[in-house]
Amino acid sequence: MTSDDRPNPVIAAQLDRNNEPTADRYRWMVETVQEVIFEADPTGAWTYLNPAWERLLGHSVEESIGRGFLEFVHPDDRQANLDLFVETISTGKNQCRFEARYLTASGEARHMEIHAWIFRADDGTPLGSTGTLTDVTVRRLAELELGRRATHDPLTNLPNRSVLTERLSAEITAMDGGHLALLFLDIDRFKLVNDGVGHDTGDHVLRVVADRLRRAAPPDHLVARFGGDEFVIVAPGCDPQASRELSARLRSAVAAPIQMWDRELTTTISVGIRVLDASEAATTDPETLASRLLRDADSAMYHAKETGRNRATTFDLGTRQRIVERLETESLLRSALSRGEFELHYQAQFDFADERPVGAEALLRWNHPDRGLVLPDAFIAVAEDCGLITEIGRWVLDEACRRLAEMPELRLAVNVSPLQLHNGLVNDVAAALRTTAVAPDRLCIELTESAVSPDPASARAALVALSDLGVRISLDDFGTGYSSLSQLQQLPIDEVKIDRSFVSRLGSPDGHAVVTAILALADALGLETIAEGVEQRCEARGLADLGCTTAQGFLFGRPDTFDALRTTFARGAVSSRHGSGSSPRPSKLSLRRHSLQS
């Protein structure tokens, strides 16, 4: 006897009417079990349902009798259930087991496992069926969640890397003309958020960015989390122009301020774009090509970061070579500090009133044995990305304070990275001052507006702590970043530096107006001003006439060694006077620190 020929024990018990105590016992079992026990006619209409039907699904047994089982099945599962029912009846099978979602009286879907036995006449004609419905919702939802976790990132709920590579290969295989674009996105200075305000905040930013990307991308595009703060978008049918437009839309969506519990964060993304056309897709197998597209888009993204962040770069043949050079630079940087290859050069700052040197800016140089003297633009971004900038910045502070101790009349400005600001800068400055016994007001910490903008509250806390130490604070490249009047009022700034881009346009009406406005704003807020990049005598005259207090630039001297700076201070006023048609105002002490501390 096969398993299909064995009698159903439930039916056997119900048909046994010769022993009434036994029948009562089985009746009690049928009415109290948790599983639904049913009987149905050959059309699938219920002829019997035990009380568990009403307990589990909420439908009245009395009202359900005579209705077809498909009426209670979820609409999305009905066709599959009907096909299985017809197949079981028509092929002569005596039992079947399957799963379907049944709807409760309130409309909730419950996952039910159905085990049915078919009763047939001697000639095989179906007479009806009986069986059980077991609620497996908890188990099924757990299985679905495990499956989802295997394919989705748990933090952002976006598809993960395995889904991305599978979808990308499938889209390449399905290409029949046209284009396919891959966009590789990375959150700018995300390490600054994690280190500065904590990983909980970083996780919140990742969730917000993921949601904004998902909403901004078209429905047929796949948005996936690649890992860390990196996201990838697969854009079928997207040509070079469309991919650039999509990138602009994504960057705009992400750039909106993120409101946190006690702060507001501004986030930007860098985007690398790789566009595939059908001719290239036809020459390489999909898996190899998918890997190449990811690598190329990643390379383009790194180039976007190196050229300023918050922008998009489309991959070209030179992009990969630039990435190879970047990796080589990173490798050399890791040994540069231990080998003593860094050095500081100094550019003197002159007071417009008497053209005498009043201070200097310390500028980092990398003196590589093969590459020669390397300027910061070639390696600072790499140092920030690979996490070396804090260690290098600490060396700069120590060296600058050591030089200040050697030259009592000197006031020195030191540039700091945004990562330093949120990663122990206050302690590093305090340690350098303590070791060298330098008066704090002789050291000026110089930072750009972009260092403040991602998290103004955290930046203000760090700057206030620096101000409490007694050091001066300068805002570099003023007017080129994201600062506002309210931001300047809230930060303990002592001076602003007028960017070279404004100084060079001083002779034009708009350039003159911008510099005038900056100087008026600084004067109203009690801030000193330094014009940087002064190269022409006419620029110096114009700045002096407008009331700028201090300047630096090639007109007065190029960055040079500390010995050269010492000679400049010993010589005093510069030899080539620029002249002035008016009496420039005397330099003044900033009132900002005192007002903020009071």
170-175 average pLDDT score: 91
Q: How confident is the model at residue 488 (pLDDT cuts 50, 70, 90)?
A: low
Q: Quick check: 386 pLDDT over 70?
A: yes
pLDDT of residue 594: 33
Q: Quick check: 27 pLDDT over 80?
A: no
pLDDT of residue 7: 53
Please give the Cα distance from 323 to 93 (Å, whole number): 65
pLDDT of residue 339: 92
Residue 163: exposure state from Cβ atoms within 10 A (0-12, 13-18, ≥19): middle
The C-alpha angle 183, 184, 186, rounded to 5 degrees, equals 135
Q: What's the distance, CA 215 to chain centroid?
A: 15
Q: Quick check: 21 pLDDT over 60?
A: no
pLDDT, tens digit, 9 for 90 and up, residues 123-154:
888 899 999 999 999 888 888 878 777 888 98
pLDDT, tens digit, 9 for 90 and up, residues 537-563:
899 989 989 999 899 999 999 999 999
Q: Quick check: 236 pLDDT over 50?
A: yes
Q: Quick check: 586 pLDDT over 60?
A: no
What six digits make up the tokens of 369? 């044995």
Q: What percent of the chain has pLDDT over 90?
A: 52
Mean pLDDT for the chain overall = 85
Of these ranges, 192-206, 210-224, 475-489, the one predicted with the greatest mean pLDDT is 210-224
Weakest-pLDDT range from 101-110, 328-337, 395-404: 328-337
Q: What phi, psi does 338 have (nearest 5°)?
A: -65, -25
pLDDT, tens digit, 9 for 90 and up, residues 69-123:
999 999 999 999 888 888 888 888 888 888 999 999 999 999 999 999 998 888 8
pLDDT of residue 573: 60
Q: Quick check: 201 pLDDT over 50?
A: yes
Q: Quick check: 402 pLDDT over 50?
A: yes
Q: End-to-end CA distance of the chain, in Å?
A: 97
Q: What percent of the chain has pLDDT over 70?
A: 89
Does the model's pTM come out above 0.75? no
**28 compared with 534, residue with greater pLDDT:** 534
pLDDT of residue 367: 93
pLDDT of residue 592: 36
CA distance readout (Å), 61 to 34, 66, 67, 75, 465 = 15, 10, 10, 21, 74
| Residue showing tokens 């399905």 | 174
**430 compared with 197, residue with greater pLDDT:** 430
Weakest-pLDDT range from 1-5, 419-423, 576-580: 576-580
pLDDT of residue 6: 53
| Residue showing tokens 């598809």 | 159
pLDDT, tens digit, 9 for 90 and up, residues 252-292:
999 998 887 777 888 999 999 999 988 888 888 888 899 99
Q: How confident is the model at residue 587 (pLDDT cuts 50, 70, 90)?
A: very low
Burial 25-57 (b: 16+ CB within 10 A, else e): ebeeebeeeebbbbbbeeebbbeebbebbbebb
pLDDT of residue 458: 78
Q: What CA dihedral angle connects 114, 117, 120 and 124, to 10 degrees? A: 80
**312 compared with 22, residue with greater pLDDT:** 312
pLDDT of residue 20: 53
pLDDT of residue 486: 59
Weakest-pLDDT range from 8-12, 163-167, 243-247: 8-12
pLDDT of residue 213: 97
